[in-house]
Structure 1
């Protein structure tokens, strides 16, 4: 069974980051919408003590000498960033992705879901808030609402679901080892 792990950003929480109107969409919608072909995990951490998402991820990637971390990282198929403000940290992100791909001999799928508020210009958002070379999808929401959906028919939820369905289908078709031992 494939696993999808949701990791919140700074000042977030393993449930509150994904919850709207008491709906925790990864648990309430996603598993069923993926035909129960995926295990849904939500991971929490103390985001206030972290340096940056990228440096935390790089630290995780460098744990390759430890069996459990090596198995975990080898099983990762893709990474979807949701409203993560990289603010010109493209090179650090690119280095992390390259490091993971080389260390674990795998090509990661990456998608960046970027918020676009009512007053934002679509072209400006796509060119200034998304890391260079990373595919992106614009979500009609303010930053904190980028990953909160209270309905299956929410347009943003449908965009995220489409990508995750494609990834799960590709995992099945390619036989990617998504098990963690």
Structure 2
């Protein structure tokens, strides 16, 4: 198992890990690679998170590298984290809160993941996404976009096997509680006046938001292709004097066919942070991921074969169509 020394992840001789310091807030990085890995697990954080601290427990455990590889055992995988600007407020150093539309963030995720897999020659790897909060909405949109492409970007849609949603607000949050919820997601030291509660990215998460509804409608058309697990928070969050669910069970776990559901004895922020294999929820999440890694390769390999066959037939179909048009025009000529 990798261990931490002076902030760096030290890997065993049978795996490769990178320093967490190399994980920039707005970048994609593979943080663990087993030499026999044949699956990619991609972690996508939520609102006001980043690719490092979103997955770190109270004692400093970065569980995607310090717990998960040991749990997976013979189910070898590459582990990647994706970061994007999901801030609610501006920092004193001039960094602004994100104003990108959800489409732009999803397009960036899709492009970066495609290019990384192509560069590392891992395009045949099945993909499993682990998404916290807004990250789940982002991934759903990315898969919708990927489905519509006919080039390399379509490979993400074809290769995706499983989706683990942790506290994702599929149906949005109650607008009446929205300001309180947002304020509770940042430090009490951050003045409310500098929070960007009207940013398009933030508005997407409100109940009855048109963008969110469109993403959900598109996802319902493709959900049957994936293994899906929806996880909800069981403990209310302390929202500076008020206790409430940031994402209630109805939004985090809407009833859908063939979906695995369970709750985690943690609040919204802590439900994606684990310090040990005995942390609440870790066994359910890690065992689900392990089973997906073990079963996904033949399924995705078959889909990739079918996709290549369809691509190979396209030029033939076009040529045949042009040939028929020529024959028809010849027959119609005087």
Place the TM-score, normalised by the shorter chain, in its bin: 0.7 to 0.9
1:132 has 2:250 as partner? no
Paired residue total: 171
Taking the aligned partners of 2:219 and 2:251, their CA distance within structure 1 comes to 20
Aligned position for 2:235: 117
1:176 has 2:296 as partner? no
Q: Please, what TM-score do these two structures have when normalized by structure 2?
A: 0.45
Distance change (3 Å), C-alpha of 1:107 and 1:51: same
Q: Please, what TM-score do these two structures have when normalized by structure 1?
A: 0.78
Taking the aligned partners of 2:48 and 2:141, their CA distance within structure 1 comes to 20
Aligned position for 1:14: 51
Q: Is 2:158–2:300's contact at 8 Å kept on the other side of the alignment?
A: no
1:31 has 2:155 as partner? no
> Over residues 42-90 of structure 1, what are the superposed CA-to-partner deviations in whole Å (9 max), with x where a residue is unaligned?
1111123355543663255224325232112211001111111233578
Of stretches 47-56 and 3-12 in structure 1, the one that deviates more from structure 2 is 47-56
- Runs (5+) with no aligned partner, structure 1: none
Structure scoring higher RCO (CA < 8 A, sep ≥ 6) equals: 1
Aligned position for 2:169: 85
Larger Rg: 2
> Over residues 11-38 of structure 1, what are the superposed CA-to-partner deviations in whole Å (9 max), with x where a residue is unaligned?
1101111001221101111122112611
Taking the aligned partners of 1:60 and 1:15, their CA distance within structure 2 comes to 24
Q: Is 1:23–1:150's contact at 8 Å kept on the other side of the alignment?
A: yes
